[in-house]
Structure 1
Amino acid sequence: MLSILGFATIILFMFLVMTNRMSAFVAIIVSPIIFAILGGYGMELGPMMLEGIKLVAPTAVLLLFAVLYFGIMMNAGLFDPVSRKILQIAKGDPVKIVIGTAVLALLVALDGDGTTSYMIICSALLPIYKKIGINPLVLATIAVMSLGTISGMTPWGGAATRAISVLGLDATEYFKPIIPAILCGSAWIILTAYVMGRMERKRIGIIKIEKTIQEMKTNQEMAASIAEDQPVTSKLVWFNFLLTLTLMVALILGLAPLPVLFMVGFVIALSVNHPNLTEQKSVIKENASHAVPVVMLVLGAGVFTGILSETKMVNSMASDLLTIVPDSLGPFFTIIVALISLPLSFLMSNDAFFFGALPVLAHSASEYGISPMEIARAGVIGQPLHSMGPTSAPLWVLLELVRRDLGQFQRYALVPVTILSLMFIVFALITGAISIAW
């Protein structure tokens, strides 16, 4: 009976989200409550929900201040000098321009917000692509691969945040072992950009574009000002760069918990970049609009997880799921999860996959001695494919910017993005982010 209630909870949640009957935040709270009451747990719901919220509270704090921090960095034009330098070095060579696109896209994706990332990349580089005649689908493909890699797998990005929160994991413990795989994936994206650039160079040759560099600078300022109608200043670029570098080093070394690091980093960035009190309030209000909806989802995930865990629905579902996987394949369960995440991430929303399917897979993996931490890392491997799927909302913004339809983009991008996702499984195995339970 518990297993039936658990699967019914997941099915109802997925149905409500994928058919747009309810928002993810409402559905993720309503679904488990309904079936918990049907199972006779109505009087115990309060403590169950509170336990789940306590579990995800650190992740919610991390996400809030990470989004606020990178919002300030984007508004301050932290990456503008990088993109200008890319174009100066490129000098009309499609190979260099596409590689530069990859570098810029990987950096901008640190923001974690897909819509903002795509708008900055397209505003900065699309005029150059049009001037030279490079296929805009090249830019779109590189941007999607970069966002799926950086935003999808870092603990302040949407997918990893969901995985960490729903499984009740420590963000630092999740992140440090997957950093080498992310770096390998980023290098693979740059290699893919080189190949695409060679194809475009063969098609159109090398064109002089000095006149467009000033246009690019203007477009960058407009893009970096998306979040607020204030002029971009480059006076503090070096300070912001060193602050961000220090933050990343402290993160890798584990000098403090991630929520604390980003909270302190945000306070410093806000105080230095916006010393005026009125200005600070305006900046917080503007950037919080990106963070609050996702923080709400994380807290909702805590309610979802708390109910399914405390009622033992997850245990019952996992036991039933184990009967499907032959014992001989048990040691390879992490790889199975990674492979399953590819089509499911493409077809499903992140809410449906991470809040619905991943907890069941994680509990099943525990029967083979595989930790939820590895299942979380395996689950995010499908994010590059998710970023080009129909349930990825920022993708529609990107397609509008490059003036292409979904079918055109998917036909062009499916092969390189699928190869990247498969290579991520290899990178994760080689670097130890995931393993085989021999």
Structure 2
Amino acid sequence: MLTILGLGMILCFMYLIMSRRMTPLVALTLIPVLFALIAYGLGFYFDSLSHIQLNDLGEMMLEGVKKLAPTGVMLLFAILYFAIMIDTGLFDPSVKFILRLVKGDPLKVILGTITLTIIVSLDGDGSTTYMICVAAMLPLYKRLGMSPLIMACLMMLASGIMNLTPWGGPTARAASALQVDPSDVFVPMILPMLFAIGWLYFLGFMYGRMERKRLGIMDLDISHGDNIQISNNPEANRAHLRWFNGLLTVVLMICLVKGVLPMPILFMIALCIALFVNYRDIDMQKDLVAHHAGSALNVVGIIFAAGIFTGLLTGTGMVDSMSKELVAVIPDSMGPFLAPITAVLSMPLTFFMSNDAFYYGVLPILSEAAGHYGIEPVEMARAAIVGQPVHLLSPLVPSTYLLCGLAGIEFGQHQKFTIKWAIITCFVMLIVALVFGMFPFYSVAT
């Protein structure tokens, strides 16, 4: 019954936001509360639900919100920080350079988008990657009339591939869950990642040709590039302080990578320094923060709502129940194929549940079963990280909301546009991993 309620809650939520009958903020809050109340009511008739008490639901939700609170605080101040940096004109030179380089060619813009995202993604943080890349590339897309859906799609896929680095998160989770060396998981997967990047460039090339055919190549001269500004507030431009703002941002990025302080604290400090140095007028500081507060609070509100969703999904035991039922439905005849099965399952499972729930809840059970067929834990760990490009489309991934908010697109639109390419990207890695033996297609104990 817990499994049925869990799947019903997730499917109901996905339908409502993808059909645009509810906003993510409303659906993430109301749908889990509704299903939790249903579970409580059914607890009088089903023993499997009797542990769910009405007095405990509030604590479950609060626990979920607490876990995501640092992420929400970080996103609030990170969005404000980069918005202020845009107002100061920090990114104007980079836009001018890229504009001169691509010369108004949509194909070059798209290929440049992929390259920039791959490079910036090396820091392992999706939110920072999106903030930097969107700030640099979105003005070009708007100027040329290109679709921001293509930009968001390619950025997310590139970030999903690069997320397999040990410091990206999933690889470390899989390795720790199965008690294997992260380098033993990651290093063999470099080749599948390279093939996936090659596929991504091919996809970008196809979209680039389509956009070039639709829009043509604009003749953007140097004088136009010199006049390009990302900020729409000329009064806030601080070109004479660009060296300071650039240095502040570089130091901030280094501190983020080194983990000098927690990310929320770093962004809070950086924002306050930026406001104090660039705008001594207190009223102007207030006006700028108020101007960007709408977009920031929209994203942060969704993050805290996601805390309610995950809190109830975990606290009621729905995640654990779905994990056990999943293993139970795999027939014995499919045991030798558990490595590719795990790779395929990693796509929908990391979409419907958090990485922690999958890697620490489901993967150890699958790996234990696979051991009876001679499949090593390190091979199962490699298979389990294949689905990350699809995982980033999950409504439970905060950075995806940030990407959509910065790009000015609807979350549901982004999902519909990107899902097929994310699945193909995962299968490219899966096929290459099978061909080159990163994990076996079929294995029996000897």
Choose 104-113 or 303-312, whichever is displaced more: 104-113
> Is 1:365 aligned to residue 363 of structure 2?
yes
* Distance in 1 of aligned mates of 2:35 and 2:208: 56
How many equivalent residue pairs?
377
Aligned-pair identity in percent equals 29
1:241 and 2:246 aligned = yes
Q: Which residue of 2 aligns with 1:217?
A: 226
Shift of 1:320: 0.9
- TM-align CA RMSD: 5.4
Q: Say if 2:59 is the partner of 1:52.
A: no
Shift in alpha-carbon separation, 1:233–1:189, aligned structure 2, 3 A: farther
Distance 1:235 1:72 in 2: 15
Q: 1:43 to 1:233 in 2, by over 3 A?
A: same
Q: Hey, what does 2:84 align to over in structure 1?
A: 72
Deviation at 1:145, TM superposition (A): 1.0
Question: Structure 2 counterpart of 1:364, which letter?
Answer: V
Q: Who is 2:370 aligned against?
A: none
Q: Does 1:308 align with 2:313?
A: yes
1:22-71, Cα deviation, whole Å (9 max, x unpaired): 22222222222222222223232111211111111111112112211221
Query: 1:319 aligns to what?
Result: 324
The one of 122, 125, 140 equivalent to 2:141 is: 122
Structure with bigger gyration radius: 2
Query: Which residue does the alignment assign to 2:397?
Result: none
1:359/1:265 CA distance change after superposition, 3 Å: same
CA distance in 1, matches of 2:198, 2:62: 43
In structure 1, which of residues 256, 261, 266 is the aligned counterpart of residue 271 of structure 2?
266
Does residue 96 of structure 2 align to residue 84 of structure 1? yes
Q: Who is 2:30 aligned against?
A: 30
How many Å apart are 1:148 and its aligned residue? 4.6
Mean CA deviation greater in 19-28 or 63-72: 19-28
Q: How does 1:326-405 map to 2 (within 5 A)?
A: 326-331=334-339, 335-340=343-348, 353=352, 359=357, 363-368=361-366, 380-382=388-390
Q: Is the 8 A contact 2:161 2:196 kept in 1?
A: no
| 8 Å Cα contact 1:330-1:368 kept in structure 2 | yes
Q: Quote the Cα distance in structure 2 between the aligned partners of 1:27 and 1:208.
A: 43
Instruction: State the one-letter code of the partner of 2:17.
Output: V
Partner letter of residue 120 of structure 1?
A: P
Q: Contact conserved, 1:57 with 1:299, CA < 8 A, in 2?
A: yes
Q: Cα–Cα, structure 1 residues 84 and 117, in superposed 2: closer, same or farther, change >3 Å?
A: closer
Amino acid across the alignment from 2:154: M
- The amino acid of 2:296's aligned partner reads A
Q: Separation in 1 of the partners of 2:311 and 2:207?
A: 49
Aligned counterpart, 2:17 = 17
Distance 1:395 1:277 in 2: 26
Corresponding residue for residue 350 of structure 1: none
Displacement after TM superposition at 1:319 (Å):
0.9
In structure 1, list runs of 5 or more residues that go unmatched: 128-135, 155-159, 162-173, 346-352, 387-391, 400-405
- Distance change >3 Å, CA 421–CA 264, structure 1 → 2: farther
Please tell me whether residue 4 in structure 1 is matched to residue 12 in structure 2.
Answer: no
CA gap 1:334/1:57 in 2 versus in 1, 3 angstroms: farther
1:71–1:287 CA contact under 8 A, matched in 2: yes
- 1:359 deviation in Å? 4.9
User: In structure 2, do the counterparts of structure 1 residues 116 and 327 end up closer, same or farther at CA, with 3 Å as the change threshold?
Assistant: same
C-alpha separation between the residues in 2 aligned to 1:267 and 1:424?
Answer: 43
Distance across 2 between alignment mates of 1:251 and 1:120 = 26
Specify the SS of the correspondent of 1:50: helix
Aligned equivalents of 2:83 and 2:302: distance in 1?
19
Q: Would the alpha carbon gap of residues 427 and 121 (structure 1) be closer, same or farther in structure 2, given more than 3 Å must change?
A: farther
Change beyond 3 A, Cα 1:26–1:92: closer
1:368 aligned counterpart, secondary structure: helix
Q: Distance in 1 between matches of 2:288 and 2:272?
A: 12
CA contact (8 A) 2:25 2:305 kept: yes
Q: Return the offset for 1:151.
A: 9.6
Separation in 2 of the partners of 1:8 and 1:293?
Answer: 26
Which residue number corresponds to residue 123 of structure 2? none
Change (3 A) 1:283 1:262: same
